[in-house]
Amino acid sequence: MTESKTYEGSCHCGNVRYEARADLSKVTACNCSICSRKGTLMSFVPAESFTLKSGEGKTTDYQFAKKHIHHTFCSTCGIHAHAHGAGKDGKTMFMINVRCLDGVEPEKFEVNHFDGKKL
């Protein structure tokens, strides 16, 4: 049985802070060109489970390839704490970087490996 909890996360300098309700029983590591370079561990949440608490206007948006995902990062410290885009159903989804969550130990999570290189 999986359980969703509310987590808080931030970039390194703290300018960008968010709260997300997520189930971290499984997280995703992707091997695409950007994810492998960033080293993110991801969890995906619907828009209604994500709240940006601070940092509006303090992020830079990077898009590439099909430009479906907004890879945002703090314009001060450069950390990619979250991203957003449309899910398969067209609804907005957020990707939270589990490594940026307060009080969690990412190495303890079960990791699903996604082959993003093939997209």
pLDDT digits (tens, 9 = 90+) for 21-56: 999 988 999 998 888 899 999 999 999 999 999 998
Asked whether residue 31 is domain-assigned, the answer is yes
Domain assignment present for residue 119? The answer is no
- Cα(44)–Cα(54) distance, rounded to whole angstroms? 20
pTM: 0.89
* Enclosing domain of residue 50: 4-114
Q: Collapsing DSSP states into helix, strand and coil, what is residue 104?
A: coil
Q: Is residue 43 part of a domain?
A: yes
Distance CA 61, CA 21 (A): 23
For residue 100, what pLDDT is reported? 96
- Average the pLDDT over 70-76 and give the result: 94
When divided into structural domains, the chain yields a total of: 1
pLDDT of 87 over the 80 cut: yes
Q: What is the CATH number of the domain that holds 91?
A: 2.170.150.70
The tokens for 88 are 């398969």
